[in-house]
Chain A
Amino acid sequence: MTAALRAQGIRKTFGANEVLCGIDLSVARGEIICIVGPSGSGKSTLVRCLNWLSPPSQGNVWLGDTLLGQTRRPDGSLAPVPARTLRRQRARIGMVFQHFNLWPHMTAIENVMEGPRAVHGLPKIAARDLAMTTLSRVGLAERGDHYPGQLSGGQQQRVAIARALAMQPEILLFDEATSALDPELVGEVLDVMADLAARRTTMIVVTHELGFAAAAADRIVMMDAGRIIESGPPRQVLAEPESARTRKFVARTLSRNAALTALITPRV
């Protein structure tokens, strides 16, 4: 079976700075992959390469059987696809951003309707129905007529998830979707993401929430300095990491919670 998305030899350089040093990653249909790693390890850059928002300097991405953003010339070399084609391909990939990037001049429902209308050519009424259904999936059916500025961060991010879902993408990319939220609001967004995971929505989730990764991911990918240094089921990567770097990263992340747990757990 072809993978939902497959990346091969992704390199990304900014000037002399190599941010991604050859990433291979394959996501099966219905698979949930969490990418973890320290800041600056290239996680965000990688997901931005995967939907060609920031085309890789080198390497290929396949979306199903489609080579993303590139086409093979008769002589075998690769050339960028026309903008139209790229837009059609991008519409098959949903993206949720760290800072939501909702359009502030549109209500929640208008944010969700825009893509289906403009890209899939859905009539207004059908788009509104679809948007309403999608908003209720993220628990915001009553907030459709609110502007983003009238919603909490958690609600805004759920609208952004609905906006991505309404395009009925083959895969969803989450770029640190909870990192900009108040700690209190992280839960409601993770709940929506966990629900999507439970329905076997193909997802690549860049996250610092190891708890979510442990519970929802089929596979955790650990990145450091532009490379994948470890990859496997959550138990393996989090509990029995092969590399010292992963062990350190996990221990450091857990120790922050451990101090809290120790403080509030009643002593026996």
Chain B
Amino acid sequence: MIDVSPITDHWQDLVAGFRLTLWLSAMAWLLAALIGIGLSAVRLRGPYSVRHLARGFVDVMRGLPSLVLILACFYLLPATGLRLGSVPSGLTALALYYGAYFSEAIRGALAALPPGQIEAATATGLPPATVLRRIVLPQAIGPMIPPLAGLTIGLFKETALLSTISVHEFVFAGKEAISDSYAPFEIYAFIALAYWAASGVIAYGAGWIEARANRYRGRPA
């Protein structure tokens, strides 16, 4: 029988840790989305040199383990005179890292749109903002969701890496509870279940959005 008292004894701390994990995920996600949108816009429409710069940035991000980037932001940025706390530097690292991946997902979905779609809009005389809002995005959202959902779940889980730079998120709170209670099995099992459940919620939400975005497809004749 599993003894739940190590969990209940540290409930407050664990919940606080989980809440910080959720908050970190949301903030990092928003920043990554902004970076991703900016990068994909630049890579599709920017001047030649900026395009390559963005591409280089994405390549570097994709070639680094996220943990290395987190440690680099935490230990190396202060050396350049930029003194950030552990939370801001952790957020910066995750946002940069996932921003690069987000941009790939966005760019892929936009590039997959048949060129004729935009040509028809151009020939009609629609202004670019209308083309984006009415023609491009409604068709690109659906294909964008599966890769973005995977990345969002990845980002959510990898906030756990911020425990290495002593951000008091969920895993950090768990470790403290373990050093206090000596019950690693119960507490890690609880943490694993919580991550799993929350990831499931994200996946479910993404599936719902995707189904809605793709509603116009697959309508039988």
Residues of A bordering B, CB below 8 Å:
51, 53, 83-84, 87-88, 90-91, 93-95, 97, 99, 101-106, 114-115, 118-119, 147, 149-152, 160, 163-164, 167
A101 to B115, CA, bound (A): 9
Interface contact A90-B122, CB-CB below 8 Å: yes
Task: Given A150-B221, A152-B221, check contact A97 B124 (CB 8 Å).
Answer: no
Q: Which of A87, A150, A163 contacts B219 (CB 8 A)?
A: A150
Residues in A neighbouring B221, C-beta threshold 8 A: 149-152
B130 cross-chain contacts in A, Cβ below 8 A: 118
Q: A53 contacts B126, CB within 8 Å?
A: no
Q: Evaluate contact between A147 and B126: CB separation under 8 angstroms.
A: no
Contact A114 B134 (CB under 8 A): yes
Chain A's closest residue to B218 (CB) is A149
Kindly identify which residue among A51, A99, A103 contacts B123, using a CB–CB cutoff of 8 Å.
A51
Inter-chain contacts of B116 with A (CB < 8 A): 97, 99, 101
The smallest beta-carbon distance between A88 and chain B, in angstroms, is 7
Q: Once A and B bind, how many residue pairs between them come within 8 Å at the CB atom?
A: 76
User: With contacts A104-B139, A105-B138 known, is A53 near B119, CB below 8 A?
Assistant: yes
| Residue B63 CB within 8 A of the other chain | no
**B65 interfacial contact with A, CB 8 Å:** no
Taking the complex as formed, is B48 at the interface, i.e. its CB lies under 8 A from any CB of chain A? no
Contacts beyond the supplied A95-B123, A101-B116: 11 A-B pairs with Cβ under 8 Å: A87-B127, A90-B124, A91-B124, A102-B120, A103-B117, A103-B121, A103-B135, A118-B126, A119-B126, A163-B124, A167-B124
- Residues of B within 8 Å of A104, CB to CB, are 139, 216-217
Contact (Cβ within 8 A) B123 A149: no
Question: Shortest distance in angstroms between B49's beta carbon and chain A's nearest beta carbon?
Answer: 22
1/0 per residue, CB under 8 A from A, across B99-132: the answer is 0000000000000001011011111111110100
B124 A114 Cβ-Cβ under 8 A: yes
Residues of B at the A interface (CB closer than 8 Å) are 114, 116-117, 119-128, 130, 134-135, 138-139, 216-221
Whether A119 contacts B125 by the Cβ 8 Å rule is: yes
Query: Do A115 and B216 touch across chains, with their CB atoms under 8 A apart?
Result: no
B124 contact set on A, CB distance < 8 A: 90-91, 114-115, 118-119, 163-164, 167
Residue of B whose beta carbon sits closest to that of A104:
B216
What residue of chain A has the Cβ atom nearest to residue B131's Cβ? A118
Task: List the B side residues contacting A101 at CB < 8 Å.
Answer: 114, 116-117, 119-120
Contacts of B121 in A (CB 8 A): 103
**Which residue of chain A has the shortest Cβ distance to B138 in the bound complex?**
A105
By a CB distance below 8 angstroms, the chain B residues around A91 are 124-125
Q: Which residue of B lies closest to A110 (CB)?
A: B134
What are 26 A-B contacts with C-beta separation under 8 Å?
A51-B123, A53-B119, A83-B128, A87-B125, A87-B127, A90-B124, A95-B123, A99-B116, A102-B120, A103-B139, A104-B216, A105-B138, A105-B216, A114-B124, A114-B134, A115-B125, A119-B127, A147-B219, A149-B216, A149-B221, A151-B221, A152-B221, A160-B120, A163-B124, A164-B124, A167-B125
Q: How far apart are A144's CB and chain B's nearest CB, in angstroms?
A: 15
